[in-house]
Amino acid sequence: MSDEDSLRREVFLLAYHLHWSPDTVLDLPAPERRTYVRLLQDQLEREQQALRTP
């Protein structure tokens, strides 16, 4: 995946799930943006696991 594709994915994930504007996401420093992406991915995984666990 290219750097440009990675950036688009980060912007999409944060804008879509957190309802942030793309400009707000792009204004974040890259390390902070990536931290939010990791936190979001972790949360989504926990939610999926909870749905699979009776």
Whether 54 shows a pLDDT value over 80: the answer reads no
Sign of the torsion formed by the C-alpha atoms of 21, 24, 28 and 30: positive
**Domain residue ranges of the chain, discontinuous segments joined by +:** 3-52
| pTM of the predicted protein model | 0.86
Question: What's the pLDDT at 49?
Answer: 95
One-letter amino acid at 50 equals A
Question: What's the pLDDT at 47?
Answer: 95
Separation between Cα atoms, residue 22 and residue 10, nearest integer Å:
10
Summarize pLDDT for 11-43 with one digit per residue, the tens: 999 999 999 999 999 999 999 999 999 999 999
